[in-house]
Amino acid sequence: MTTPGAKKLLLVEDDETLRHLLAEQLSSLEEFDVRQATDGATALAAAQAETFEAILLASRLPDMEGAALCAALRQAGIDSPILLMAMEGEPDVPGCSDRLVKPFRIGALLAKLRQHARPTGDDPALRIGPYEFRALARTLREEGTGNETRLTDKEAQILAFLHRAGGGVVSREQLLDQVWNYNEGVTTHTLETHIYRLRQKMERDPANAVLLVTEPGGYRLTP
């Protein structure tokens, strides 16, 4: 069953094993609704029939090169972000938003998708203290003044995950797993830096936080 608000993703890959693996892993997350295509013609028809928040495209397909399909998509007026899956040494493709070098880790793919995938139309306003938080738009709007603060992608993901905890404590390890997918090189210091910057944006007195609170082992949002 598709999760409301999930981003629609078109996965274009003729390698059956890789396609099924990626589709299974991405579909297991609540944030993606994955459609599949095994060749360029099918992918082009699908992209013209409905809007996708991102397209994940293999560099080589049975009926055309990924570059030719990317050009055809752009010529058809399709402006969805396109992430190219290519082998080391293959050239960049004009019109693609980014690329992943095969073989890649699922964490690297998720990071790229979360960076480029467009917000869906379903972006409910969530209450955090005096703020109206919209996770997909990555904004905090203050009640009364109407002042709006822009968040980075990681900051919005941190707040969204903490909000889903309903006031419960979320460990640093959980946040690193959910937001960075334990990407190599990312440490708790990186998380603490993002928490510090969030407090600068949302707390009256960042040194004495009342909304984004540090607890033994992690963090929590207060109502």
Domains annotated on the chain, with CATH = 7-116 (3.40.50.2300), 135-221 (1.10.10.10)
Per-residue pLDDT reduced to its tens digit, 88-107: 999 888 888 889 999 998 88
Per-residue pLDDT reduced to its tens digit, 133-171: 988 778 899 998 889 998 887 888 899 889 888 889 999
User: Residue 165's pLDDT is what?
Assistant: 84
What's the predicted TM-score (pTM) here?
0.56
HSE-up of residue 25 (Cα within 13 Å, Cβ side)? 13
Instruction: Say how far apart CA 202 and CA 141 lie, in whole Å.
Output: 10
Instruction: Say how far apart CA 141 and CA 151 lie, in whole Å.
Output: 11
Percent of the chain residues topping a pLDDT of 90: 49
Highest mean pLDDT among 42-51, 134-143, 198-207: 198-207
Instruction: Indicate if the pLDDT at residue 222 is higher than 50.
Output: yes
What are the angstrom distances between the C-alpha of 24 and each of 14, 16, 20?
15, 12, 6
Contact between residue 197 and residue 155 where contact means Cβ atoms under 8 Å apart: yes
* Residue carrying structure tokens 């290519």: 86
60: DSSP letter: B
Instruction: Indicate if the pLDDT at residue 132 is higher than 60.
Output: yes
Contact between residue 19 and residue 35 where contact means Cβ atoms under 8 Å apart: no
Instruction: Say how far apart CA 40 and CA 55 lie, in whole Å.
Output: 12
